[in-house]
A and B are shown apart, each in its own frame.
Chain A
């Protein structure tokens, strides 16, 4: 069965500190992996994605994520957190449904990030 686990419900970091958000997945096929961010009252914004190739992917806002097949993980990192990064972060997994078109996504429960000034 497909599933995504984000073990940390809430993380608090100081501004300028490094950040790592954990994500583990279970998926039968080769997964497409995503990180989304949701600010209060907003929809989901794509941070980055991984399909194949280089296992370290760069995203927007200075975020990066590393795919580790052996650990079924896709952890999100940022070397120096800004106060504006405070938001909810969702890891998601999916696969092509029709040809190369991405089908539905399975989401983790989210990690709420609080940033102390």
Chain B
């Protein structure tokens, strides 16, 4: 299975600021995914981060608000820009398992964001 870490684990931010969340996978993966989990809700896909190409955003999410970087096959960042209280959520990254097993998604521990 893949081991995925995220930083920070949680943060409290002021309205109008930006936060960059880092996601590190312990093996090389072609795709990484960023999900948002609003309070009491399920997971919603924000975007797919592909190494060497632009991220693919889901309907309702735009690059200006959630810019994503994918500089190599083990790392990605998600920035939440110009934050508002509505952005308060848990942000999770995921990737297909490493070690030759790419048929399962593994998740990082999440970043709990509170916007005041």
Contact = CB atoms under 8 A, between A and B. Distances in A.
Say whether A and B bind each other: yes
Interface of A: 32, 34, 36, 41-46, 49, 51, 90, 92, 94, 96-98, 100-105, 107-110
Contacts, number: 61
B74 to A, nearest CB: 15
Contacts of B31: 97-98, 101, 103
Nearest to B43: A107
Determine chain B's interface SS by DSSP, over half rule.
strand
B103 A32 contact: yes
Interface stretch (B62-70, B77-85, B106-114): B106-114
Nearest to B9: A41
Contact of B41 (A49, A97, A109): A109
Contact of B30 (A42, A49, A90, A101): A101
27 contacts: A34-B105, A42-B109, A43-B108, A43-B110, A44-B43, A44-B92, A44-B107, A46-B104, A49-B103, A49-B104, A51-B103, A90-B43, A98-B30, A100-B102, A101-B30, A101-B96, A102-B96, A102-B103, A102-B105, A103-B31, A103-B48, A104-B33, A104-B45, A107-B42, A107-B44, A108-B42, A109-B42
